[in-house]
Structure 1
Amino acid sequence: MNKLLPIAFVLGLFACKDKQQVVQNVPPPVQRPAWVASRPVSDADYIGIGLANKSRSDFQETAKKNALNDLASEISVKVEGNSLLYTLDRKNSFDESFTSTINTKTSEQIEGFEMVDSWDNGTEYWTYYRLNKAEHARIKAEKKRQAIAQATDLYARSQASVAAGDLKSAIDQDLRALLAIKAYWGENDEVLIGERSVPLANEIYNDLQRLTNGVRLTALPERCALEYSNHFKRELLVTARSVNGATTRDLAQLPLVMSYPGINGKVTATSNTDGEGQARTTVQGIDLGAAGPELLVRVDMDGLVSKDLDPTFVKPLVSSLTVPELRVPIDLKLPKVFISASEKNLGEPLTEAGAALTFRQELTTKGFRFVEKESEAELIMSVTATTREGGTSNGFFTAFLDLSVSCKDRSTQDVVYSGGKQGVKGVQLAYDKAGLEAYKKAVQDIRQEVVPALMNAIL
């Protein structure tokens, strides 16, 4: 019994020791750095604090990005009164989303920053960055100087292109000049151009407006006459020139878009002017139902812009410019027609209105002109129609109408169109009435099938 007491005593000591070790392994509360608990304030530096959840695989990069965004938000951006952004806002040329895009895409390109500290616990990762304000101002001033120098050089090249009559290159160089300084569109950018001190971005944008406003488009002939004598097809010569005061220059390789209403919808063609500033286009297949048809000639603004330029900035700029255009009236003059008809019902001359009258009425509404003398006509139309018996059934009589029509050129005697409709059915209580019924039913066939086919052949 006495031997058991020491053993129990020793076991008790071990048990107490293990219990003490468990208590000692509890970690003390984690102390957050002062810059995590309270954002630092500095007159000499811009400060950026970033936080990311450690559950992300890229938590360190995310925290850095958030810190730099936070740092950038401390750098105030003021839109100067003589800047391009201020001018555009005053003119309401652009909506808020565009100016917001400029501010976002041209936000401070931060350089010279340094990481001061980082801290993390089980779930969070914090990082602390700073950027010396004086160093930032120095870097920014140097980058702005380089950008303005590049833009000034491009603007000078644009002026040389204008002098050479190359509008496309001039606009391209102006746009590149503006993009070179897009980060400073809201700032003062006064430069010396010749003997003038001007805000550079405004000067370049105004030059773009002058370039497009100075384009003059003309056409020969001034009106597009489509008539039977030219087979309703006319070629026009379009000339593009740049006018600046008393100076006029031909515009070579200028992209143009030309359109007019066609039978099957809008007809659009593109063409570049030649070395003399001229382009040719042909108008044909005009839509007869179009009210006040015209040929619209416009400078292809999209064609003036190089594909490598950022459309986010360029498209709103270009769309704010005046698009030079020319409207050429289209005078459609349909032919004079002399019509002769031979219409019979069951072998007897037709005493009521027949197919010839339908042709005359329908073509008149389309613009054709009918004359009483064959010598005054351009087209001779011959209409032949006759009915035949088709049998009886249950007291009803059937007759069929066979219709043929031909048009020929009076001067050449060439057949322009030949067609018609066979076996138009009429049913009535007598053969003669069935024949007249067939004539009535033929009216819709003439309007919907024969006349359109005839017009397609003529036009």
Structure 2
Amino acid sequence: MKKIAYILFLLILSVSCGKQKIVISSLPDLSQKEPDRPDWLKNRPSGNYDYIGIGAASKIRNPDDYTHVAKNNALSDLSSEISVTVRSNSFLYVLDRNYKFDEEFTQGIQTFSDQNLEGFQFMDSWETEFEYWVFYKLDKALYKENFESRRKESINLSYDLFQKGKEQKDLGDIGGALQMFTKGLATLKEFWGESNSVSAEDGEIFLENEILFELQSMMNDISILPSDDKVILSLYNDYKSNFELNISHKNKPLKNAKATFAFKGERSTVEHDFISNENGKAYVEVRNVRKDDRSNALEVGLDLEYWLDNASQIEKEILKIVRPKQLSIPIILEKPTFFIKSTEINLGIEMGTALISNVIKNGLTQKEFKLTNNLNEADLILQLNASTEKAGTSYSFYVAHCDMEMKVLNNQGNVVYQNALHDVKGLNMDFEQAGIKALSNVAEKVKRNMLKDMINSVL
């Protein structure tokens, strides 16, 4: 029987360990008789007046701290007997119904914490060569007394923070008020499932709900007004804008607020932040935006954590439900209008079909640039000159070379881009067709390489 009991215990350990490998250096002495199990292990004690906690640990798995492991398991067992009821007028009930609070987080708040098990008593322990068991209990009346004592103390502290927060708010110190309100809520975290009411000047109030109302009202009174309803980037501001925001609380400038900005840059999302000045103004430079993204926008918000000193995780969670509305301001990239002046000559004769300029026109329109035949409407002038000349023969083929120069000028006559190709070869059965081939080869080089560089230089 002793051998069977030992084998059963090892089987239980192997199941609880999963894939963890247990190494036993030597077999136990099975000749020793296992001590009789105490009554509290044979039949769990009644919990009419006490919360009961029984825990075990394997001496094989935990040779150095099995007593500590068993104690933790017993206290966890004890705490599981303490039911947590979320009352309908409690703060936790409000969070579950009205806000998208993290489910795992709210469940964690409802779970009783072992560190608050004041007054538990060690009753007994029992062990064999391989296992250790421990028995604790906690008087229900004592637990309730300690719980209510902690709750009363937390309510008083929370109410004091609430009053200080309202004073800070009235003085216009929004950061200070935010800190007091969030700390007031965090102080009562353990008791969010209870109805925590206090007597105030206007009568009885439910404290956390009142703090949340004040906090949300304060955030709703914060406004972020942009200097324009869109960010315009064009040739005339060098495709960058020093965009201005006005941050206020109840129409009064809000200083020392941390505004956050984000937009899609050429390679990745660009993020900035700026602290509002005495006049409630914050600025961000928008430049180097993604060129072909019509949906690009300047996303604006407030970093409320900036106002908190060493914010705890619970305070950060609270901030998630009271953030002011964010702004999304469209970024408009106004691409310039081109006037193209092209001369393409093949062996002294101007081409009827401009091969190179047609490639450029197609490339520009595909990238949503505008073209005009009216010089006065143009933002940029593209000048292109290309010509071919005979270059002899090669293996019965006629050879022609093409030279091409291209310039892009702004309205002030300044060159914003220029490039050239020289001696681009064309071969065919006669010189005229060889010249056309050379022009076609230049057009292909412009399409593959030069056009992209030119577009990047003007945006």
Shorter-chain TM-score range = 0.7 to 0.9
Q: State the secondary structure of the residue aligned to 1:68.
A: helix
Per the alignment, residue 350 of structure 1 pairs with 351
Query: What is the one-letter code of the residue matched to 1:37?
Result: K
Change (3 A) 1:274 1:92: closer
Deviation at 1:196?
A: 4.1
Is contact 1:401–1:439 with CA below 8 Å preserved after alignment?
Answer: yes
**Residue 126 in 1 paired to residue 129 in 2?**
no
After superposition, residues 31-50 of structure 1 pair within 5 angstroms as 31-50=36-55
Deviation at 1:322?
A: 4.5
1:348-375 deviation line (CA, Å, top 9, x unaligned): 2222222223323322443444333434
- The equivalent position to 1:54 in structure 2, one of 43, 48, 59, is 59
Tell me the distance in 2 between the aligned counterparts of 1:27 and 1:374. 108
Per the alignment, residue 28 of structure 2 pairs with none
Per the alignment, residue 287 of structure 1 pairs with 290
Deviation at 1:258?
A: 1.6
Per the alignment, residue 12 of structure 1 pairs with none
After superposition, residues 57-206 of structure 1 pair within 5 angstroms as 57-91=64-98, 93-104=100-111, 106=113, 109-206=116-213
Change (3 A) 1:208 1:399: farther
Deviation at 1:183?
A: 0.6
Change (3 A) 1:178 1:221: same
Is contact 2:74–2:134 with CA below 8 Å preserved after alignment?
Answer: yes
After superposition, residues 8-23 of structure 1 pair within 5 angstroms as none
Deviation at 1:193?
A: 4.2
Deviation at 1:390?
A: 4.3
Tell me the distance in 1 between the aligned counterparts of 2:176 and 2:426. 71
Percent identity reads 29
Query: What is the one-letter code of the residue matched to 1:281?
Result: V
1:318-357 deviation line (CA, Å, top 9, x unaligned): 3344452223333333334333222112332222222223
Deviation at 1:117?
A: 2.2
Per the alignment, residue 341 of structure 2 pairs with 340
Equivalent pairs counted in the alignment come to: 427
Change (3 A) 1:194 1:417: farther
Change (3 A) 1:123 1:261: closer
Tell me the distance in 1 between the aligned counterparts of 2:416 and 2:449. 17
Change (3 A) 1:67 1:285: closer
Tell me the distance in 1 between the aligned counterparts of 2:134 and 2:208. 39
Deviation at 1:383?
A: 0.8
CA RMSD of superposed structures (Å): 2.7
Change (3 A) 1:452 1:306: farther
Tell me the distance in 1 between the aligned counterparts of 2:430 and 2:163. 91
Between 290-299 and 143-152, the greater mean CA deviation after superposition: 290-299
Query: What is the one-letter code of the residue matched to 1:135?
Result: L
Between 368-377 and 43-52, the greater mean CA deviation after superposition: 368-377
Deviation at 1:182?
A: 0.9
1:76-98 deviation line (CA, Å, top 9, x unaligned): 21111111221222236235422
- The equivalent position to 1:256 in structure 2, one of 244, 259, 264, is 259
Between 172-181 and 292-301, the greater mean CA deviation after superposition: 292-301
Deviation at 1:238?
A: 0.4
Query: What is the one-letter code of the residue matched to 1:34?
Result: D
Per the alignment, residue 426 of structure 1 pairs with 426
Is contact 1:166–1:252 with CA below 8 Å preserved after alignment?
Answer: no
Change (3 A) 1:316 1:390: farther
Deviation at 1:292?
A: 4.3
Deviation at 1:111?
A: 0.8
Q: State the secondary structure of the residue aligned to 2:330.
A: strand
Deviation at 1:299?
A: 1.9
Query: What is the one-letter code of the residue matched to 1:53?
Result: S
Per the alignment, residue 35 of structure 2 pairs with 30
Q: State the secondary structure of the residue aligned to 1:264.
A: coil
Is contact 1:241–1:251 with CA below 8 Å preserved after alignment?
Answer: yes
Tell me the distance in 2 between the aligned counterparts of 1:365 and 1:42. 79
Query: What is the one-letter code of the residue matched to 2:121?
Result: E
Deviation at 1:314?
A: 4.2
Tell me the distance in 2 between the aligned counterparts of 1:139 and 1:64. 21
1:50-80 deviation line (CA, Å, top 9, x unaligned): 2223333212222222222222222221111
Q: State the secondary structure of the residue aligned to 2:216.
A: helix
Is contact 1:106–1:182 with CA below 8 Å preserved after alignment?
Answer: no
**Residue 396 in 1 paired to residue 397 in 2?**
yes
Q: State the secondary structure of the residue aligned to 2:141.
A: helix
Query: What is the one-letter code of the residue matched to 1:439?
Result: L
Change (3 A) 1:37 1:293: closer
Tell me the distance in 1 between the aligned counterparts of 2:324 and 2:106. 22
Between 186-195 and 394-403, the greater mean CA deviation after superposition: 394-403
Deviation at 1:286?
A: 3.2
Tell me the distance in 2 between the aligned counterparts of 1:443 and 1:268. 40
Is contact 1:241–1:250 with CA below 8 Å preserved after alignment?
Answer: yes
Query: What is the one-letter code of the residue matched to 2:51?
Result: Y
Change (3 A) 1:229 1:49: closer
Unaligned runs of 5+ in 2: 1-30
Is contact 1:116–1:128 with CA below 8 Å preserved after alignment?
Answer: yes
Between 136-145 and 188-197, the greater mean CA deviation after superposition: 188-197
Change (3 A) 1:180 1:408: same
Change (3 A) 1:199 1:395: farther
Change (3 A) 1:164 1:355: farther
**Structure with greater Cα Rg:** 1
Q: State the secondary structure of the residue aligned to 1:70.
A: helix
**Residue 458 in 1 paired to residue 445 in 2?**
no
Is contact 1:150–1:180 with CA below 8 Å preserved after alignment?
Answer: yes
Deviation at 1:306?
A: 4.6
Is contact 2:256–2:275 with CA below 8 Å preserved after alignment?
Answer: yes
TM-score with structure 2 setting the length = 0.83
Tell me the distance in 2 between the aligned counterparts of 1:437 and 1:144. 90
